[in-house]
Amino acid sequence: MRIKWNFNIFKKIYVLIVLFLIPVLGLYYYSNQISVEVVEQEINNRDLNKLNYVLSQLESDFEQLSLISLALVQDPDIHKYVNSDVFASTFRDDYDLVELKVKIMEKISLLSLLNHWRNGIFVYSGNGSEVLSSNILLRANFQPNEFSPIWEYNPQADQFYKHTSTPLSEPGTEGPDELIVEVRAPASYIREVLDQLKVGGDGDPFLYRASYQPLVNRTANDPLIAQLNERLDREPLQAAGHLTEKINGKKYLITYVRSEAMGWTLVDYAKVDTILAPIEMSRNFFWFSVGMLLILFGVVALLLFFHVQRPTGELIDSMHRLKKGDYQVRLRPDKNNVFYFIFKRFNEMAEEIQHLIEKAYVEKLRTNEAVMKQLQSQINPHFLYNSLFFVQTMARRGREEEVEAICMHLSEYYRYATRVDKQLVTLREEMEYIRNYLEIHVMRTQRIRYEIEVPEEMLELEIPRMLVQPLVENAIKHGIEPKPGEGVIRIWGKRENEDYALYIEDNGVGMPAGEAERLNELIRQSQAGDEEEIGCGVWNIHQRMRYKFGEGAGLAFAAKEEGGLLVGMHWNGEQGEGGERNVPVAAG
């Protein structure tokens, strides 16, 4: 039984839940995005502050070295020593010159110690006559870098350097023309700073400059930094800022700060997936929880459907069927269902209603039989009067044989019709009764011809008495008598397994095909009270057959194309009284 899904309380609940979930999911998505953006911004600010702090220390060290070189290039003792030829009159002997040199060396050493880098300070004149340095080894193997007034990086020596210079003498005078101080800072110190910067972080800080290999810490991820370096080469960098890059399916936040003093950019990165892992875990848990809740809700909805909605639909459908007259409808109560009590009481109610209807039905049939007998008692005298009038006429004409024949048929006819003690007869007896009835009409009207062809195996079947005669009478009265000319009535039987059919066919005026179909529909849906619309005799025959042979038995009408009407009586031999086996009704 198919139950229609109406827009009921369950659908309303589903719509409300969906309407509730949409803003909840939207708000969660929005809050999650805001959280991710806030975390990313905090990471960027943290890294930017950290880089600014480290870069300020580096720039402070470089600035300190620049100040040292500036102090040396302006030192009068150095000027006096380098320009010793000009100041020769101030020296008493060579010992004073050596003493001045030692003093200068001590001064350079002292200034070198002011900076905690392992730096190198070199003082020399433009003609390169002598190099002054605090480190004897470096002084012995000194090779000056290409002059640069700003900090530059020497990849071969892996060091930063800067030059400071000042003129020593007036143009056109003798002696060196320029005093140069070269300060060197090894890149190893910067790597140590990068190592310290990496401690406690999840990135690899490095120094970046276009067209140079990046300066990295000692445990750097070189392939990853190379890819980041390519990304920085493509990006026009500001003084400070942030970038995002996706490498190997992972998102990285890149933070950078440019050093104007060094000419390099300090860069650090952070893996977003690692930092946002708790947020992603919380997000995944939320979606998992929502999914589980939806699954749970679906299971609950199915349980409600199968235990509430479907039983309710079955109950409503059964009540509609009961209202339409299907009193055999029953529900299957399930002891595990809350509707068990209702289903059980519904079945009891339907059974009681069916019992009362059948009881009233039987009483109605008995009443109809009484009415039929009363009608027969009224009609039979009229039929008898006509027959006796025919006998009188034939007797006056001296036609003894015809008088004898009709009297014999009348006696057999009334012997059968007046027996009320036996309500079931064989089809053979009913056909003999019909034959006598038709012979009387043949003799009276002289324009009726009939044929009776019933299989031998059907003649011993029991049927209610007087079941066929009203149909034959209707065929004569309403079919043949209104039509001039010869009338033909044909009665024939048909058997298919245990399904039997008896047909009464005439060539009378008949009825339109639409009227025959309407009559069939009325008969199929007939209830008590429909006798007047269908016809008392026809309705009574149909109901007697259904009561005797079951719901599948009854009458069917078919209009013939050549004129006349075909009436079929159908029943099944396996059914007992009040049987429920349905047998198709089809005109033969």
Whether 89 has a pLDDT exceeding 70, the answer reads no
Lowest mean pLDDT among 89-103, 487-501, 536-550: 89-103
Task: State in Å, rounded, how far the first CA of the chain is from the last one.
Answer: 33
Residue pair 229/214 in contact by the 8 Å Cβ criterion: yes
Which pLDDT does position 88 carry in this prediction?
45
Residue pair 536/513 in contact by the 8 Å Cβ criterion: no
Which pLDDT does position 116 carry in this prediction?
66
Whether 1 has a pLDDT exceeding 50, the answer reads no
CATH numbers and ranges of domains, the chain:
38-275 (no CATH), 404-572 (3.30.565.10)
pLDDT, tens digit, 9 for 90 and up, residues 128-147 = 567 787 766 666 677 788 88
pLDDT, tens digit, 9 for 90 and up, residues 392-435 = 877 888 887 888 888 888 888 877 777 766 778 899 999 998 99
Residues 6 or more apart whose CB falls under 8 angstroms from that of 136 comprise none
Cα–Cα distance measured from residue 553 to residue 543, given in angstroms and rounded to the nearest whole number: 9
pLDDT, tens digit, 9 for 90 and up, residues 157-197 = 888 888 888 887 555 445 556 888 888 888 888 888 888 88
Residues 6 or more apart whose CB falls under 8 angstroms from that of 544 comprise 365, 369, 464, 467
Lowest mean pLDDT among 333-347, 433-447, 519-533: 519-533
pTM here is: 0.46
Confidence of residue 581 (pLDDT cuts 50, 70, 90): very low
Give the per-residue SS3 of 175-241.
CCCEEEEEEEEEHHHHHHHHHHHHCCCCCCCEEECCCCCCEECCCCCHHHHHHHHHHHHHCCCCCEE
Residue pair 60/307 in contact by the 8 Å Cβ criterion: no
Whether 22 has a pLDDT exceeding 80, the answer reads yes
Cα–Cα distance measured from residue 74 to residue 416, given in angstroms and rounded to the nearest whole number: 159
Confidence of residue 454 (pLDDT cuts 50, 70, 90): very high
Whether 583 has a pLDDT exceeding 60, the answer reads no
Round the average pLDDT of the chain to a whole number and report it: 78
